[in-house]
Structure 1
Amino acid sequence: MKTFSTKHSPKILILLTIVGLTSFFSCQEKENTPPPIFTHDVDTGNTPWTKETFDNDSEKFSFAVHSDLTGGERPRIYEVAIAQLNLMRPELIVNVGDLIEGGAPDSASWDQQWDSFDARTEAAKAPVFYTGGNHDLTGNFAQGIWKERYGKNYYHFIYKNTLFLVLDSEDHGKERNDEIEKIRNEGIRVLDEQGREAYAQTEYANLPERSFGNISEDQMNYFLEVLQKNPDVKWTFLMMHKPMWENPENVRFFELEQALEGRNYTVFNGHTHTFRYLERNGMDYINLATTGGVQNNSLGRSMDHFLWVTVDEEGVSIANLLMEGILDKTGHIPSDGDTLVFEKK
């Protein structure tokens, strides 16, 4: 009986191995190749659409900006805003401060207010980046609560080569913080007991720091260093609560503006509860109105809204979205918001 050897020469084994690996990787490549993003069965030459270059740049992203909740927060507005943002699906959300009412030093009250804000904010699908306002950060007591809960009261981050600078416009220095806190507490007492006309005559209502804010030398130097280390980002966004450029004596902020020369940037702020647009240094400075705060239409339009900002390689586009116009698939304002009033006429 003849027997046959199952042995192969080394050359044949190598060849079989190569063929096997080629077949394996070919199958793997087919399995891992994503399907085309667009297919069709039109073969007539002409097509019933305009182009096949889609607005889907991998570096493009959109984020939302919301504004003040305070001065007498109007119930349920902020909850509706979060529900609407969850429909819109931004990649991230930032705000411009005045997130809680604050008040006189009372640790239990402050923690309860922050707990309430945090719980409602946690419902957002996107991460939310906090900016402190005067209600959140006036005085060393308030700043201590912030630092205990959230860490830094000014900071920066980079997302898809886009730089975000989050400023603390209540950074007056420890001694001045104490003075302003006492003056503010007295002003709020007058407001609560005697009303807005009496409050308008108080020392706090007429403080330059109340209207314009300030930053410390340490904060200025921090952001100057951040800008120096990140010269090649696509865009730079500044988030702050108060319009610090309106104070002609705010030299530190002006030095920060000088460091921004030569780069593309946009500034967002709140505080006035009125929407205002300004072109300054050839750039957009946008003062948001409210996202649940008391409305003030004495200076211009006051409405509940948020900004929708899209960044791509070509630049930035900004849309103002009125909360009363963002409806769910059933044609209603989400979170049972149809009965709410979103703009003071």
Structure 2
Amino acid sequence: MDWLRRAMYTGFLLFLPIGHTAGAANSEFFFIFCGDSRFGSDSPKDHPEILEQIVQEVNIRKPAFFLYGGDGPDHNTEESYRAFKACLDKLEVPYYNVVGNHDIYVKATGGYSRDNHRKLFGRTYYTFEYDDSYFIVLDSSGHGGRPWGVRVSSPEQWKWMVGELEANVSKYRHTFVVTHTPPYDAPPMENHAFTDPQEAEEFVKLMAKYDVTAVLCSHEHLYYRTEWEGVPYIISGGAGAVLYAPADRGGFYHYIEVHVGDEVEVRVIPVLRSIAVIPDSARVEVGDTIRFRAVGIDPLGR
């Protein structure tokens, strides 16, 4: 698969500037974000071992921290949680976890519970800061199944979120909001975003009102980047769960590096087993100009 050509088709050239500038830079750092692996799944289409490879690459790249976008466990069982956390615990950098709908869904009963998440990872919505950036992590996992959104996940969370934005945006160079479920779907998805369209619209307008640097999401198993009301939204759900789109529409295993300085740049990193650089011509004469193509093979041999 020609991953450079694929990258161009899906709207990125591996380096994707957000272009948000706010005040003078104090320092620069980067973090890594991805989501959706489904540890404990009995489906042959899910490959949580992809996250194992991502963790190895994270330890080589050494970001400031690792941020996981949710749906690490396939379903809300202690066994699935233990397998997922054992993978994260191999990280040699600090990590943060976002609660996803699979994290709370109890398959055996059709119900939902956040107890396992709270026991292993703490609160389901929270904030943290790094350098001169502020991160607001939301719980949008609803009842495991639909409905999904901020209010249905925790009635008091919306007011809390507005309060955090109001009190902190002006204090930091950049503000990132992180939610497992995006407010709107990425094409070609349907019915995987916030269930209440009014809440989705309010959320997008709120992010624009407070000039949020970017909103990071998972849940939809692909890579997608867009802007709603002028705010960049990035969906990264390619950390092992069954992919929801062909590769040329973002359906490939990946993670993203978010480089934060005076401006913010996102780098999309495909997860590959091997890569080859192939010239268009086997014969090269002095003075010739030739083209090369990069061919990447993912961990499943595709």
Q: Distance in 2 between matches of 1:279 and 1:146?
A: 31
* Structure 1: gaps spanning 5 or more residues: 1-56, 104-109, 172-176, 185-206, 328-337
Q: Distance in 2 between matches of 1:251 and 1:210?
A: 13
**2:219 maps to amino acid:** H
> 1:141: Cα distance to partner?
4.3
Alpha-carbon contact 1:155-1:166 (below 8 Å) kept = yes
Q: Aligned partners of 1:157 and 1:270: how far apart in 2?
A: 19
CA contact (8 A) 2:273 2:299 kept: no
Quickly say closer, same or farther: Cα 1:132–1:326, change in 2 above 3 A: farther
**Which of 41, 66, 87 is 1:120 aligned to?**
87
- Aligned equivalent of 1:97: 70
| 8 A contact 1:100–1:135 mirrored in 2 | yes
- After superposition, the C-alpha distances for 1:277-330 in whole angstroms (9 at most, x for unaligned) are 211111211111311111222593211111100111x22010101111788xxx
8 Å CA contact 2:31, 2:64 repeated in 1: yes
SS of the equivalent of 1:244 reads coil
Seen in structure 2, the aligned counterparts of structure 1 residues 339 and 307 have a Cα distance that, compared at 3 Å, is closer
Contact 1:157/1:164, CA 8 A, preserved across alignment: yes
Are the counterparts in 1 of residues 81 and 116 from structure 2 also a CA contact under 8 Å? no
Q: 1:243 aligns to what?
A: 182
> Which structure has greater strand proportion?
2
Q: Secondary structure at the match of 2:264?
A: strand
1:74 aligns with 2:52: no
Q: Measured at CA, do residues 134 and 59 of structure 1 come closer, stay the same or move farther in structure 2, by a change above 3 Å?
A: same
Pick the aligned partner of 2:217 from 266, 269, 278.
269
Partner of 1:49: none
CA distance in 2, matches of 1:323, 1:216: 35
Q: Is the Cα contact below 8 Å between 2:180 and 2:217 reproduced in 1?
A: yes
Q: Partner residue of 2:164?
A: 226
Distance 1:297 1:225, change over 3 A: same
RMSD over equivalenced CA pairs, Å = 2.9
Cα contact 1:277–1:284 (8 A) shared by 2: yes
Higher relative contact order (CA 8 A, sep 6+): 2
Q: In the alignment, residue 88 of structure 2 is paired with which amino acid?
A: T
Residue pair 2:151, 2:157 contacting (<8 A) in 1 also: no
Partner of 1:9: none
1:160-187 alpha-carbon deviations (Å, 9 max, x no partner): 121111111124xxxxx4xxx6xx5xxx
Whether contact under 8 Å (1:68, 1:289) holds in the other structure is yes
The aligned amino acid for 1:65 is F
Name the SS of the counterpart of 1:302 in structure 2. coil
| Conserved? CA contact 1:220–1:256, under 8 Å | no
Mapped partners of 2:298, 2:252: distance in 1: 16
Rounded to whole Å, the distance in 2 between the matches of 1:284 and 1:83 is: 28
What residue in structure 2 maps to residue 61 of structure 1?
Answer: 29
- Native 8 Å contact 2:149 2:196 kept in 1: no
| Partner deviation per Cα, 1:210-249 (whole Å, 9 max, x = no partner) | 6999544311111111112113211111111112245583
Cα gap change, 1:102 to 1:168, in 2 (>3 Å):
same
Of 316, 320, 323 in structure 1, the residue corresponding to residue 271 of structure 2 is 323
1:304 is matched with: 253
Per-residue deviation, 1:94 = 0.5
TM-score where L is the length of structure 1 = 0.61
Give me the identity figure in percent: 21
SS of the residue corresponding to residue 86 of structure 2 reads helix
Query: Structure 2-normalised TM-score?
Result: 0.69
Q: Name the aligned partner's letter for residue 299 of structure 2.
A: L
Distance between the aligned counterparts of 2:157 and 2:48, measured in 1?
35
| Residue 129 of structure 2: aligned partner | 158
* Partners of 1:235 and 1:263 within 8 A in 2: no
User: Could you tell me which residue of structure 2 aligns to residue 167 of structure 1?
Assistant: 138
**How many pairs does the alignment contain?**
237
Give me the whole-angstrom Cα distance separating, in 2, the residues matched to 1:306 and 1:296. Answer: 16
Query: Residue 308 of structure 1: SS of its match in structure 2?
Result: strand
**2:258 & 2:274 partners in 1: Cα distance?**
16
In the alignment, is residue 340 of structure 1 matched against residue 288 of structure 2? no
> Given the superposition, is the C-alpha separation of residues 296 and 258 from structure 1 closer, same or farther in structure 2, using an over 3 Å criterion?
closer
Contact in 1 for aligned 2:28/2:259 (Cα 8 Å):
yes
1:3 is matched with: none
Structure 1 residue 150, shift from structure 2 partner? 2.3
